[in-house]
Amino acid sequence: MPIPPPSSVPSRPEHTNAPVAAPALAVPFDAVVFAGGGCRCFWQLGFWQEAAPVLGLRPRVVAAVSAGAAFASAVLTDHIDQVVADFKRRTARNQRNAYPRNVLTGAPVFPHEGIYRGALLESLNEDTWQKLRSGPDLQILLARPASWMGPRVGFMLGGIAFALDRRELRVHARWGERFGFCGEVVSAHGCDGPKELAELILQSSCTPPLLPLYRRGPRIVLDGGLIDNAPASLVAGARSTLVLLTRHYPEPELPRMPGRTYVCPSRSTPIEKWDYTSPELIQRTFDLGRRDGEQFAALHRRSSGRDVAGAADRRWAS
């Protein structure tokens, strides 16, 4: 059955909350950050599709982590619709997020790596690779366990750190570094072709047992979100930075930092991070991003022509 193209933006009455954000600046952002979030990152694609043309987004540098790196690649290669359609096709063929009986046959219990890797290799072909290399520098964050941690200890402590950060509803993680993990930043431009970039993105997304435990060189890596799930510090030298989150935060929970504009979904995304079974929820999450992006762009249009310098430390919300 053919997958329909992304639907048009629904009418305003269906969407009453505004995306929580700092006001847009009157000048384009020179850096953009893509937070991680698995399938929640489809919100970022929808937001970008509506807001980027109005904002005139042409960042000189992009920072990303985990699945945010995959979606940043889709944005920088102008493959948003293709990536959405391809992932919907793949998830339409997958009925469950876990197949426990596969333990008896040796087949993967979790289908996520096969679907994720296949989607990356489909979108990162030679043509898109050349386009990506000629565009803004894409910096991707990985997490490395301390040298004294073996794979088992690193996996266990990483899981605890993730749980603690999620419980605190923090935009920027802190428990990974407290437990001894350190960050490693790799430029996509330094990869030797699309297959190596796909591997790098998987390494940045490494969340066992849903994904295997990867190694980069002799040492293991884990999801870069352990260090920072919204790695704005990677573009600290930028004049103005747009940070695209994927989780809904109450307005008071968003950081107040001059020069940064944090944007998050206006409500919880319809799809969960690791739900690889629902093309419908992917589409609804993408459409939520489009609606939020449309509203954010409208704010920018209203702000254009008047001095809003320094406004990134103020917030607006419904």
Work out the percent of the chain whose per-residue pLDDT is above 90: 67
Determine if the pTM surpasses 0.85: yes
Phi-psi region of 272 (alpha: psi -120 to 50; beta: other; left: phi over 0): beta
- What is the reported pLDDT for 303? 67
- What is the reported pLDDT for 168? 76
- What is the reported pLDDT for 161? 80
- The secondary structure of residue 33, as a DSSP letter, is E
H-only helix segments in the chain: 42-55, 67-76, 80-92, 112-123, 126-133, 151-168, 175-178, 194-204, 279-303
Per-residue pLDDT band for 297 (boundaries 50, 70, 90) equals very high
Give whichever of 7-11, 85-89, 246-250 has the largest mean pLDDT. Answer: 85-89
Work out the mean pLDDT of the chain and round it to a whole number.
Answer: 86
C-alpha closest to that of 119 among 70, 75, 78, 81:
70
Cα 1 from Cα 122, distance rounded (Å): 20
Cα 230 from Cα 65, distance rounded (Å): 7
Task: Supply the Cα-derived Rg of the chain in whole angstroms.
Answer: 19
Angle at 119 between CA 211 and CA 249, to 5 degrees: 65
C-alpha closest to that of 188 among 62, 83, 87, 33:
62
pLDDT tens-digit profile of 20-53?
Answer: 554 444 447 999 999 999 999 999 999 999 999 9
Which residue would you say has higher pLDDT here, 235 or 316? 235
Per-residue pLDDT band for 316 (boundaries 50, 70, 90) equals very low
